[in-house]
Amino acid sequence: MKKFINAVEDVENEMLEGMCDAYPDKVERLEGTDVIVRKQKKEGKVAIISGGGSGHEPSHAGFVGKGMLDAAVPGAIYTSPAPDQILEAINAADAGKGVLMVVKNYSGDVMNFEMAADMADDIEVEEVITNDDVAVDNKEDRRGVAGTIFVHKIAGAKAEAGASLAEVKAVAEKVIANTRTMGAALKPSTIPAAGKPGFELADDEMEIGIGIHGEPGISREPLKPANDIVDELLSHILGDDVDYSGSEVAVMVNGSGATPLMELYLMNKRVHDVLTEKGIKVAKTFVGNIMTSIDMAGASISLLKLDDEMKELLNAPADTIAFTQD
Amino acid sequence: MAATKEDVLKFIEEFDKRIEEHHQELTDLDQAIGDGDHGINMNRGMKAVMEKIPGVQDKTITDIVKTVGMTLMSKVGGASGPLYGMAFVKASAKAKGKEELSPEDISEMIGAAIASIEKAGKSTTGEKTMLDAICPAKEAYDKAIADGKSVADAFADAEDAAWKGVEYTKGIIATKGRARYLGERSIGHQDPGATSISYLIQSARAVAEAK
């Protein structure tokens, strides 16, 4: 294992410190905690918090800032944060109009966030659970993956505009209902503390339906050309229960950490070509490392079916480490 | 009288030793059907517990067990944090006001732990989880006590039942936790949570047998 790290047990802490050192005008660390909050708190608006295991940078701390999240709670690598940390985030982020927690659908995340919400006295806390991953048949089991960031952006913009907690939650639910994602991996990730890859893939194999924690996916297949992989992922997304025909979409081609932009752009060409051929209009595209898995070589495609409200909110200003828009 | 406060402290220490000894095994098991961090997380949690123990060892059994739970909940993370953490917290309530634990007290504590895991995990036996070890273990313990066996023998029976439960998890499909995404590929692998909780029961047995 070759990584730029010091002691394995210090990785998460040193990473957070380095992030805050790099962007002191945008974020700060809540003293005595692992919680990352906006540098300039805006009072009188609904607060949005999110989080989950570390190892997905820039998610989620990279999206703390104007127009997106008010706080992010990073746990240990690939490990949901504990309720006491989440409660710190709820208390710090609360700006008088309630808190919306954006929680990815994993047993640990759901348990810990819900426990924290139970412990929050005097603050109205609501929750939405993201489950955009179509690789899992049973909807209740579907994982929250890269499409979660669409929620951060759109619900974030709604909150920034002064909407109520109910309105912010409603638009978040709308994004969740209209986002579908699927990914594939070429090489597994290696957690520093484990010292070896999370699973094994032969040189000519890929893992379809990969999750974001390096956990093995749904099926293992022979490696094929990028166009064929994109076609397979898109067929699952388009064949799921969101009807994209004739619609306008936002596209996200997300890298897992070790896949170069070169390949993500290349895959995006196929995404655009296929959608155009099918009469689906691409209103906006996001390409890059958005929700990674440390050093996994992989990518996921997300499609968000837009309406006027979501499109407007997607285009609203944002100022975060990983995403800035006027 | 089955357990004194010293026994409870020893039990926690024994679990810490086993988690440290087996943390690579637990991580390897979790790598096969999860995300490869169960051993890492439990080890971190138990190290934090051992740091807290000196500060509470003069308090009541309830306080000590509750401290274990709150620390695990805070330091383990993931699903194991709330599951193990709350289990200890709920179990601690059953020891309230007691300076020693009877065999029945211990049974109630295990029962409270199971109820907590079932509630927090929204699960039951047969889903390839820690419940598949601890539920049969409690059944075996209760039966042994009812049959008039010693606590040491009861925990020996409990541990045997727990490992049989672990073996059972190998053959079934996972419907909870990260393993459930693997579908049929989860079959043939033993559950890491069932394994770690079997070491917990083994720790209780070790303390009981050493008395």
Mean pLDDT value across residues B36-50: 94
Q: How far apart are CA A91 and CA A111, in angstroms?
A: 18
Comparing A95-104, B72-81, B104-113, the range with the smallest average pLDDT is: B72-81
A272 tagged catalytic:
no
CB of A108 within 8 Å of any CB in chain B?
Answer: yes
Share of chain A above pLDDT 90, in %: 91
Mean pLDDT value across residues A142-149: 97
Mean pLDDT value across residues A48-64: 98
Question: Phi/psi of residue A298, each to 5°?
Answer: -175, 175
Give tens-digit pLDDT for B50-76: 999 999 999 999 999 999 999 999 999
ipTM: 0.82
Residue A284 has a pLDDT of 98
Q: Between A82, A209, A211, which is nearest B77 by CB?
A: A82
Mean pLDDT value across residues A105-125: 94
A236 tagged catalytic:
no
Q: What is the mean pLDDT of chain B?
A: 94
Q: Rounded to a whole number, what is the distance in Å from the CA of A79 to chain B's nearest CA? A: 5
Q: How far apart are CA B128 and CA B105, in angstroms?
A: 28
Asked if A194's CB is within 8 angstroms of B73's CB, the reply is no
CB of A5 within 8 Å of any CB in chain B?
Answer: no
**pLDDT beyond 70 at A101:** yes
CB of A205 within 8 Å of any CB in chain B?
Answer: no
Q: Tell me the chain A residues in contact with residue B121 when contact means C-beta distances shorter than 8 Å.
A: 107, 111
Residue B176 has a pLDDT of 87
Residue A216 has a pLDDT of 65
Residue B1 has a pLDDT of 78
Catalytic residue among A56, A60, A152, A236: A56
Q: How far apart are CA A320 and CA A323, in angstroms?
A: 5
Q: Rounded to a whole number, what is the distance in Å from the CA of A77 to chain B's nearest CA? A: 9
Mean pLDDT value across residues A309-317: 98
pLDDT band at B32 (very low <50, low <70, confident <90, very high): confident
Residue A155 has a pLDDT of 98
Asked if B177's CB is within 8 angstroms of A107's CB, the reply is yes
Residue B136 has a pLDDT of 98
pLDDT band at B134 (very low <50, low <70, confident <90, very high): very high
Taking CB atoms and an 8 Å cut-off, how many pairs form between chains A and B? 101
- State how far Cα A224 lies from the chain centre: 27
**pLDDT beyond 90 at B178:** no
| Domains and their CATH numbers in chain A | 8-177 (3.40.50.10440), 179-314 (3.30.1180.20)
CB of B172 within 8 Å of any CB in chain A?
Answer: no
Which two tokens mark A230?
Answer: 């994109």
**pLDDT beyond 70 at B135:** yes
Q: How far apart are CA A80 and CA A106, in angstroms?
A: 9
Residue A217, C-beta contacts closer than 8 angstroms, at least 6 positions apart = A135, A183, A184, A185, A207, A208, A209, A210, A211, B181
Share of chain B above pLDDT 70, in %: 100
Asked if A143's CB is within 8 angstroms of B77's CB, the reply is no
Q: Is the peptide bond before A58 cis (omega within 30 degrees of 0)?
A: yes
Residue B177 has a pLDDT of 85
Domain boundaries of chain B, sorted by first residue:
3-210
Burial class for B20, CB neighbours closer than 10 Å (0-12, 13-18, 19+): middle
Residue B151 has a pLDDT of 97
Residue A213 has a pLDDT of 87
Q: What would you report as the CA-atom Rg of chain A, rounded to the nearest whole angstrom? A: 19
pLDDT band at A156 (very low <50, low <70, confident <90, very high): very high
Q: Tell me the H-state helices in chain B.
A: 5-33, 38-56, 61-75, 80-93, 103-121, 131-146, 151-171, 192-210
Q: Are B89 and B73 in contact (CB under 8 A)?
A: yes
Residue B183 has a pLDDT of 76
CB of B52 within 8 Å of any CB in chain A?
Answer: no
- State how far Cα B139 lies from the chain centre: 15
Q: Tell me the chain A residues in contact with residue B78 when contact means C-beta distances shorter than 8 Å.
A: 53, 75, 79-80, 108
Q: What type of residue sits at position A48?
A: I
- State how far Cα B152 lies from the chain centre: 17
B18-27 own/partner pairs: CB under 8 Å, 24+ apart: B18/B199, B18/B200, B18/B202, B18/B203, B19/B43, B19/B46, B19/B196, B19/B199, B20/B46, B20/B47, B22/B195, B22/B196, B22/B199, B25/B195, B26/B192, B26/B195, B26/B196, B27/A194
Q: Which of A73, A78, A106 to mutate to test the interface with B (most CBs of B within 10 A)?
A: A78
Which two tokens mark A34?
Answer: 């692992």
Put residue B65 in one of left, alpha, beta given phi > 0 → left and psi -120 to 50 → alpha.
alpha
pLDDT band at B133 (very low <50, low <70, confident <90, very high): very high
Q: Tell me the chain A residues in contact with residue B36 when contact means C-beta distances shorter than 8 Å.
A: 78, 191, 194, 198, 214
**pLDDT beyond 80 at A90:** yes
**pLDDT beyond 80 at B13:** yes
Q: Are B77 and A55 in contact (CB under 8 A)?
A: no
Complete DSSP assignment for B148-165: T--HHHHHHHHHHHHHHH
Instruction: Say which CATH topology domain B3-210 has.
Output: 1.25.40
Q: Rounded to a whole number, what is the distance in Å from the CA of B208 to chain A's nearest CA? A: 33
Q: How far apart are CA B7 and CA B20, in angstroms?
A: 20
